């Protein structure tokens, strides 16, 4: 088990559904990240929040909408996803600055 908790662990949804992924950490980290990982590929950065403000959006389609309600929580709202969005979605957190990122176990998302 990691110190970054992601829920749900698995999610299957249709292309017209709306769902949310949740990430929580209690390490006092002020930077939080969403990554997408396809099979046999490295993680690809999607979004970075620093001190609850969005600091990086890697040109992610608007059907993915991040939200950082407080310093411990990070959500990823999903709407009208495509089959190619099926992947492992990883959340990470770190102290801003020269500190390693710590990853959650991810949510395995399947789009039907």
- C-beta closer to another protein: residue 29 or 64: 29
Q: How far apart are CA 33 and CA 19, in angstroms?
A: 18
Residue 101 corresponds to which tokens in the numbers above? 């990122």
In the bound complex, what is the minimum distance in angstroms from residue 10's beta carbon to another protein?
A: 12
Is the backbone of residue 15 left (phi > 0), alpha (psi -120 to 50) or beta? alpha
Q: In angstroms, what is the minimal distance from the CB of 2 to another protein? A: 5
Question: Cβ 15 to another protein, closest distance in Å?
Answer: 26
Strand partners, 79: 18
Q: Using CA atoms, how far apart are residues 71 and 63, in angstroms rounded to an integer?
A: 24
67 binds another protein (CB under 8 A): no
| Beta bridge pairs of residue 111 | 13
Interaction of residue 28 with another protein, rule CB under 8 A = no
Residue of 58, 65, 64 lying closest to 87 (CA atoms): 64
Regarding 66 and contact with another protein (CB under 8 A), the answer is no
> Footprint of another protein on residues 83-102 (CB under 8 A)?
90, 94, 96, 98, 100-102
- Chain residues binding another protein by CB under 8 A are 2, 4, 31, 33, 40-45, 48, 50, 55-56, 90, 94, 96, 98, 100-106
């Amino acid at each position: 088990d990691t110190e970054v908790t992601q829920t749900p662990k698995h999610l299957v949804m249709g292309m017209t559904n709306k769902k949310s992924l949740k990430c929580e950490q209690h390490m006092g980290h002020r930077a939080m990240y969403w990554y997408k990982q396809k099979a046999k590929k490295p993680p690809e950065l999607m979004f970075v929040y620093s001190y609850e403000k969005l600091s990086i959006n890697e040109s992610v389609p608007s059907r993915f909408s991040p939200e950082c309600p407080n310093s411990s929580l990070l959500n990823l709202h999903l709407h009208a996803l495509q089959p190619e969005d099926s992947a492992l979605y990883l959340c990470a957190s770190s102290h801003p600055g020269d500190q390693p990122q710590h990853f959650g176990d991810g949510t395995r998302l399947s789009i039907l």
